[in-house]
Chain A
Amino acid sequence: MNNPTAVPAAAARESAGSHDEVREKAPRKASSIELKGMRKRFGKDTVALDGVDLTIEAGEFFTLLGPSGCGKTTLLRILAGLEEPDDGSLLIGGTDITDIPPHRRSVNTVFQSYALFPHLSVRDNLAFGLRMRGESVAERERKVAEVAEFIHLGPLVERRVDQLSGGQRQRIALARALICEPDVLLLDEPLSALDAGLRGQLQVELQRIQKRLSMTFVFVTHDQDEAMVMSDRIAVLDGGIIQQVGTPSEVYEHPTNAFVARFMGHDNLFAIHGSQDDWVDTELGRLRLDMSEQRPDQDGWLLIRPETLELDVEIPADSNRLEGVVKERLYRGSRVEYRLDVNGQTLMAVASNLGQRLHGVGDRVTIGVCPEDLVRVAN
């Protein structure tokens, strides 16, 4: 920002040489977000949000994760101002902006459909927000050149929107929002329309951009892998209610309830019939837990992560031991998945493929279950 206004585009492009320089020129004041008692219904009986309280730290990569219809997109649209909550308040950077219309919020969105203006060139798309804010042509030119350099858009800037591929559109949509340097950037499933390879690449890139700008990102997705790869923290939503908020490892390793566990991809959930001291009874049999690892008042289900199971090894005396038969084997290259039958129950186990002898269908195996790896999960 220390450049005077009338900088020729070429000079601006030159001065935006390295990324570090770009970062220095745009020092960010990241903003926190606070949602209090947020409620929203559509029509008579569709509850989108049922009292959401949430605090998102400044400069955090925060993900709203949940199945379709869980309220995550509604929440994002309320942050953008595109949806009005029935009840509750929204604070960004400590200021209540619940009643501020979208065009007066320093919040920008990357839309799921990208929503690029088809009648404008890429350059005009990028400059749109700046133009609406009344910035000068020279300033717009300089920032477009800067953001083009930053997101490696290169010659795309001169193209028309309909000449771009999906991945390119995605980057333009991101650049169009970032160029406004908002307090908060919202991303509504921006990667869902892309193929797997490109998606992985952009996941890494998005995360890198967020760290470099240290801007507050709120990301919406239904893909738990994507959420875990990218986020500092995740909120899992279902039925308009936040089920759990935590870091990816907290949410994956210690889900608070069966919904979160299942949504994070866990198959091995077994109902707990009864418990005594550090023992629980399940359909698999009686298993010992490490009670110091457990959260209180979490009862109902026992979660066994497939990757913690050990097949056919020396099992220490204080560990749990189960007997099972291999029902199915899925060879996935780097790892091998076994579907085991234990006491008539299906137990999934995953082993890294380290060149050991693989078990075949029908093999009897002994299964070691370490007490520290067992997690009790609420209903």
Chain B
Amino acid sequence: MAESSRLAARNRGVVSETRHLLFSVAPGAAWIFAFLVLPSLYLMSVAFMSNGPYGLPQMPLSLDAFKQLAGFGFLGWSPGNLYTLVRSLWQTIVSTLLVVVIAYPVAYYITTCRERWRPLLLLLVVVPSWTNQVIRAFGWMNLLAPGTPLSDLADALGLIGPHMGLYPSNFAVTLGLVYNFLPFMVLPLYAAFEKLDKALVQAAQDLYASPTRAFWHAVFPQTLPGLLAGTVLVAIPAFGMYVIPELLGGGKGMMLGNLVANQFAASSNWPLGAAGAILMLIATFVGLFAMRRVGRRLGGGEEVVI
């Protein structure tokens, strides 16, 4: 009797807890379901439809969109889309590496400054991102256009052809990406450096590690979670970036984001656009998975990425 009533009481507790959980989670879950899951499913289904006369998807189901994405058009195979994919990957990798190379010392430097200066320095890093991305891209256009001092300098050094200008070019896209995403690397790295356990560095030195090896064995592993978090924050949006290649890249600077956007707008080929979006999604997941593996290996079996 007493046993069963205790059980009932516990069940009541579980039920109320479940109900509580349900009420607190439900609005968010409903939101995500309605505005992320359903549209994604719709998008995926569009990719498997045929292209109608006005660019809108229609029956029957087909794999035409994927064939087009792979480069098979009316005139046979062309490598254009493949180039765009490779260019996107290349731009992502190069700009992420550059961001790491710049952000790592910056983040470290900020942690060595007096405590009261640090918020100000972090603010200086973040402030540019308060301006609209498009406006910043226009800023770079003005700096890099033909006839500007920077372009003339590059011309004089023989880096570019006469009257070419640094913009539009792939270089301008890389520069724009690095500039745009720098804060997203500096902040997590700063957090990692700030809680760096200096005793570990000293222990490494004490155990015969030269300054260089002490860095690799005691400093770098401690900043790895910040570094990988920053990489996720930089590489994924950079891979899908639309504005910067659109404005700074010109015709030869197109990235996957532009390819997808074009299919929904100018080219009016929704199925192809959807297929491109799926490709981006897959590439992103592969990248995340690879980083997880790298993180786990370098982090001694610990989960460092998400």
- A binding-site residues for B, Cβ under 8 Å: 80-82, 101-104, 107-109, 111, 113, 115-121, 128-129, 132-133, 160, 176-177, 180
Q: A118–B207 contact, CB under 8 A?
A: no
Asked, given contacts A103-B214, A129-B208, whether A118 binds B300 with beta carbons under 8 Å apart, the answer is yes
Chain A contacts of B210 at CB under 8 A? Answer: 103, 132
B92 to chain A, nearest CB (A): 27
| B299 engages A119 (CB within 8 Å) | yes
Q: Are B302 and A109 interface neighbours, CB within 8 A?
A: no
Interface size on B, as a range, is 20 to 34
**Can you list 7 A-B contacts with CB-CB less than 8 angstroms, sorted by A residue number?**
A82-B205, A108-B206, A111-B203, A128-B204, A128-B217, A129-B207, A177-B207
Q: Which residues of B contact A117 (CB under 8 A)?
A: 200, 203-204, 217-218, 221
Chain B nearest CB from A233 CB (Å) reads: 24
B94 contact set on A, CB distance < 8 A: none
Q: Which of B199, B209, B218, B302 contacts A111 (CB 8 A)?
A: B199
Give chain B interface residues in 284-306, CB to chain A under 8 Å: 298-302
Cα of A298 to Cα of B14 in the assembled complex, Å: 76
- Docked Cα-Cα span, A101 to B214, in Å, equals 13
Interface string of B186-227 (1 = CB under 8 A from A): 000000000001011011111111110110011001001000
Bound Cα distance from A120 to B301, whole angstroms: 9
Q: Does the CB pair B205–A108 fall under 8 Å?
A: no
Contact, CB under 8 Å: A115 / B209: no
Which of A81, A101, A115, A132 contacts B200, CB < 8 Å? A115
Convert B83-115 into 0s and 1s, putting 1 for each residue whose CB lies closer than 8 angstroms to a CB of A.
000000000000000000000000000000000
Do A121 and B207 touch (CB < 8 A)?
no
Name the contact of A119 in the complex, choosing from B206, B207, B302 (C-beta under 8 A): B302
Q: Using A115-B200, A117-B203 as known contacts, say yes or no to A132 and B213 having CB atoms under 8 A apart.
A: yes
A359 vs B202: C-alpha distance when bound (angstroms):
56
Q: With the chains together, A176 CA to B204 CA distance in Å?
A: 11
User: What's the nearest-Cβ distance from chain B to residue A184, in Å?
Assistant: 12
Within 8 Å CB of B302, what residues of A? 118-119
The 3 closest A-B CB pairs, nearest first, are A119-B300, A129-B207, A115-B203
Partner of A120, one of B199, B208, B224, B300: B300
Chain B nearest CB, measured from A174 CB (Å): 13
Given A118-B300, A160-B300, answer yes or no on A103-B209 (Cβ-Cβ < 8 Å).
Answer: yes
Contacts of A133 in B (CB 8 A): 208
**Interface hub of A115, A118, A120, A129 (most chain B Cβ within 10 A):** A115
Q: Is the Cβ of A121 less than 8 Å from the Cβ of B300?
A: yes
Cβ of B158 to closest chain A Cβ, rounded Å? 45
Complex formed: what's the CA distance from A355 to B300 in Å?
60
With A115-B197, A115-B199, A115-B202 given, is the CB distance from A180 to B300 under 8 Å? no
CB distance from A101 to the nearest CB of B (A): 8
Provide the residues of chain A in CB contact with B213, threshold 8 Å. Answer: 132
Are A132 and B209 closer than 8 Å at their CB atoms?
yes
The answer to whether A180 touches B202, judged by C-beta atoms less than 8 angstroms apart, is: no
B259 CB to nearest chain A CB (Å): 40
Q: How many angstroms between the C-alpha atoms of A166 and B150 in the bound complex?
A: 60
Say yes or no: B300 contacts A102, CB within 8 Å: no
Q: Which residues of A contact B224 (CB under 8 A)?
A: 119
Contact A80 B300 (CB under 8 A): no
Instruction: Report whether B202 and A82 are in contact in the complex, using a CB–CB cutoff of 8 Å.
Output: yes
Closest beta carbon of chain B to A104's beta carbon, Å: 8
B207 — which chain A residues lie within 8 A by C-beta?
A: 103, 108, 128-129, 132, 176-177, 180
Please state if B206 and A109 are interface contacts (CB–CB under 8 Å).
Answer: yes
Distance between A118 CB and nearest chain B CB, rounded to angstroms: 7
Do B208 and A103 have beta carbons less than 8 Å apart? yes
Known pairs A80-B206, A104-B208, A115-B200; list 9 more (Cβ under 8 Å).
A103-B206, A103-B214, A111-B199, A115-B197, A117-B203, A117-B217, A121-B300, A132-B204, A132-B213
Give the residues in chain B near A119, CB-CB below 8 Å: 221, 224, 298-300, 302
